[in-house]
Structure 1
Amino acid sequence: MILHFILGSCFGSFFCLIAQRIPINESILSPGSHCNHCQTRLAWYELIPLFSILWQNFHCRYCHSKLPISYFLAEVVCGALFSWHFYFYSWNLLLLFWISTAFLLSLMDIFYLLIDSLLLYLMWGILWLSWFLNASFHWKSVILVAFVMCLILFFAPRSLGIGDCLLLICWSGGLSLVSLAQLLFIASLLGVTYFVFYYVRYRKQLVQLPFIPFLTMGLIIVLSNK
């Protein structure tokens, strides 16, 4: 479990970098990891997941500006996801790919309220091809979700983004109607709870809500009960 958590935290750091760079068309390879304030390139010992940022007390060693907590949280959450996966499903690589890409898209939605279309379609193709080959594809779920999403986009286009709708259609191929209903109920409940909490905390309404993180949480809960 500890090794799985460490592995997941390393991926979480990399996913955070991808989620921050790809939507603004920056390379994930160059430049190397650096401070966003002073642009100083980080040494290898400043890139150790979790420990480096704690050791630096969430501040840059060079310009002393405060470092965002997003990387730390991404490393913790992704480490927990990997531990959860290997505990429940051992080496189910397709499922690991599913939750990893869901987590990555969640980060993009949090940072920019959008997702990368190329990554979405790549995930879509791999998942659907695998479900087809394993004879575990759920046509009824896909047809139902596609119909409902079209209605939502036509009658209430501001309630859900196109990316959210496409993601649900993609995931529905691997979920039964019951699992799909559970996912939507959990995600909606979590989203409404956060919306109310935000209003109570800041005394103003949340204009836009990244919904993919709640869909991902719903997906993990549903898969845990399978």
Structure 2
Amino acid sequence: MGKLAGKTALVTGASRGIGRAIARRLAAEEAYVAVHYGHDEAAARQTVADIERTGGRAFTVRAELGAPGDVDTLFAGLEAGLTGRPLDILVNNAGGAMRTGSIEHTTPEEFDRLIALNMRAPFFIIQRALPLLRDGGRIVNISSADTRVALPQELAYSMAKGAINVLGRTLAHTVGARGITVNTVAPGVTDTDANAWIHSSPETETLTATASALNRIGQPSDIADIVAFLASDDARWITGDVIDATGGTFLGPRL
């Protein structure tokens, strides 16, 4: 029996990349997974098909996060799919740098859109989820290693993810009396469609790999395994933490 048998889970941004890997991993532990997507229904259905092919159970939920009414739309679909069951695990994975964020070139409209997706949406998803979340539940927020590295071209994105780190720590203190744990996972560069630039040249691949102490490029499954651990009872005594999931990226110069 899987470690999450009998549990329900919502994974936002689960149609591809890290979110898809998380949804598949939780389902492999026998959680019933709500696969959220914003636009690409075919990709979300592929995630569900992958889960079902290996004996898991999942359903899709569509909502464009960062848009008006996003949380209402998300939870209408979620509650319909759960058919009266409570929620056990919430993974706020959806987000993105949206190719903007520098202090020189970011417009107010771009800034608002980036904050709405990366910071506002997780906050209000959690607010809406708490009455539905069973005591002893799990909340895992996906942040970024950008919060500890100076990347001028992604300043606004890093600011939003820094807020997610604060959200997790403070929320863990707030909901701990219910036995709910709240943790944050901060990936580094991970080999997904959104990071296709990794493979733009052999030199880029080598530089990306050697930035890690483990001398390789991170994979979505690396992040998914950490999230599955935090969602399980094995991690019951960990809360309010930020897990650096970068393979030791930028720990220092190589001698």
Return the TM-score normalized by structure 2. 0.31
Higher strand share: 2
Tell me which structure has the larger Cα radius of gyration: 1
Higher helix share: 1
Return the TM-score normalized by structure 1. 0.33
